[in-house]
Amino acid sequence: MTATIIDGKIIAADLRARVAAEVARVGREHDLVPGLAVVLVGNDPASEVYVGSKAKQTRAAGMVSFEHRLPADVAEVDLLALVGRLNADPSVHGILVQLPLPKGLDSQKVIAAIDPAKDVDGLNPVNAGRLASGFDALTPCTPLGCIILTKTVRSSLSGLNALIVGRSNLVGRPLVQLLLNENATVTIAHSRTVDLPGLCRQADLVYAAVGRPEMVRGDWIKPGATVIDVGINRLPTADGKTRLVGDVAYEEALKVAGAVTPVPGGVGQMTVACLLVNTLRAACAIRGLPKPAV
């Protein structure tokens, strides 16, 4: 048996097309053009790539992209002042401050300063609390993408055993709440977990988000399980270059799992697409319009 490969490129492209159609509709019917502001502090190469991709896809979906680039030594008070101006700007419906921030800047303070209604990263404590309480909230993009990918191969997650490896605020913790909303039975594992391989072997759904290259081995996986690999790790190659691998031993998983996401070409593709979904949802909510059909 060879696992179904969950193609994040195709699924994300379809989602972006549906967002673009809804953006066109709300523009036509309500004279509303969603606007996304991305704030980049410093010149981290990976962050530069992410910000460029977000801006390009925002414009391709028919939205307005606002980019704010600040030096790495910017004073925290000045960064907070920019967030305040974006909160007050009626043309901005989504605000994303690219993480990680340079040393000396308090990420939690900056995230908490973002208007929860415009918090398209879903990291503001108000949105995190609403999600944890089972209320409607803007949700972190990567976990949202994980659920969408899972449901392309599992129409219902109700009653399934789900294991999340990793407990970060960005992925692991919000993913717990999203899976509970789908009526899955959820276990969250981490570096202190006893017998992680044994836990994996009981899981119908495995979400690997721990940041350790190829940690989840093929013999950890229950036959037929769905495996969503959130990890992006760079490993050196013999010719001095690097290759991208996930947190799952992909070739091993292909022989056991029912479905698996590749790295690259899996979850990463969905994160930016879900950012567009959140921006559209935020714009409609701020305007008092019904939730868009994406």
Write the CATH number for 176: 3.40.50.720
Both 79 and 170 in one domain: the answer is no
Does residue 269 have an active-site annotation? no
Give the span between the Cα atoms of 150 and 24, in whole angstroms: 28
Q: Among candidates 27, 32, 37, 31, which has minimal Cα distance to 65?
A: 37
Angular region, 171: left φ>0, alpha ψ -120 to 50, beta rest: alpha
| Parent domain of 264 | 141-269
Distance CA 53, CA 268 (A): 12
Classify residue 203 by burial, with Cβ atoms within 10 Å: 0-12, 13-18, 19+.
buried
Cβ-based neighbour number of residue 36 at 10 Å: 29
For the entire predicted model, the pTM comes to: 0.93
Residues 50, 53, 54, 57: what is their CA dihedral angle, to the nearest 10 degrees?
-160
Taking residues 198-223, what's their average pLDDT? Answer: 96
Comparing 136-140, 182-186, 232-236, the range with the smallest average pLDDT is: 232-236
**Which of 115, 119, 121, 229 does the annotation list as catalytic?**
121
What percent of the chain has a predicted confidence (pLDDT) above 90? 88
pLDDT, the chain, mean: 95
First to last CA, the chain: 34
Q: What angle do CA 145, 96, 60 make, to 5 degrees?
A: 65
- Do residues 115 and 93 lie in contact, with contact meaning Cβ atoms separated by under 8 Å? no
CATH no. for residue 99?
3.40.50.10860
| pLDDT above 80 for 148 | yes
Asked whether residue 109 falls in the same domain as residue 148, the answer is: no
Q: Say if residue 95 is in the same domain as residue 150.
A: no
Mean pLDDT of all residues in 121-142: 95
Tokens read off for 89:
């700007």
Both 146 and 265 in one domain: the answer is: yes
Per-residue model confidence as pLDDT tens digits over 253-280: 999 999 999 999 999 989 999 999 999 9
Q: Please report, for residues 84, 134, 206, 259, the alpha-carbon distance to residue 160 in angstroms, rounded to integers and kept in the order given.
A: 43, 19, 11, 15
Q: 274, 116 in Cβ contact below 8 A?
A: no
Same-domain pairing of 46 and 156: no
Average pLDDT over every residue of 170-182: 96
Q: How confident is the model over 21-70, as pLDDT tens digits?
A: 999 999 999 999 999 999 999 988 878 888 888 999 999 999 999 999 99
Number of domains, the chain: 2
* 283 lies in some domain: no
Candidate list 54, 119, 204, 229, residue with the active-site label:
54
Q: What is the pLDDT of residue 59?
A: 97
Same domain, 100 and 149: no
Residue 234, pLDDT above cutoff 90:
no
Residues 48 and 145 in one domain: no
Residue 173 and residue 188: Cα distance in Å, rounded? 8
Does 1 map to a domain? no
Q: Which of 57, 98, 177, 269 is catalytic?
A: 98
Q: Look at residue 245 and tell me if it is in a domain.
A: yes
DSSP-derived letter for residue 5 is E
Q: Quick check: is 9 catalytic? A: no
Whether residue 8 is contained in a domain is answered as no
DSSP state of 248: B
pLDDT greater than 90 at residue 282: yes
Mean pLDDT in residue range 249-256: 97
pLDDT at 43: 85
pLDDT at 227: 98
Q: Does the pLDDT value for residue 241 go beyond 90? A: no
| Sequence-ordered strand ranges (E) for the chain | 4-5, 35-41, 64-70, 94-97, 161-165, 185-189, 205-208, 226-229, 233-236, 242-245, 259-260
> Is 263 contained in some domain?
yes
Mean predicted confidence (pLDDT) in 134-154: 96
The stretch 122-145 carries a mean pLDDT of 95
Q: Residue 40 and residue 209: Cα distance in Å, rounded?
A: 24
Window from 167-181, 227-241, 265-279 with minimum mean pLDDT: 227-241
C-alpha span between 34 and 60 (Å, rounded): 12
Active site residue 54: yes
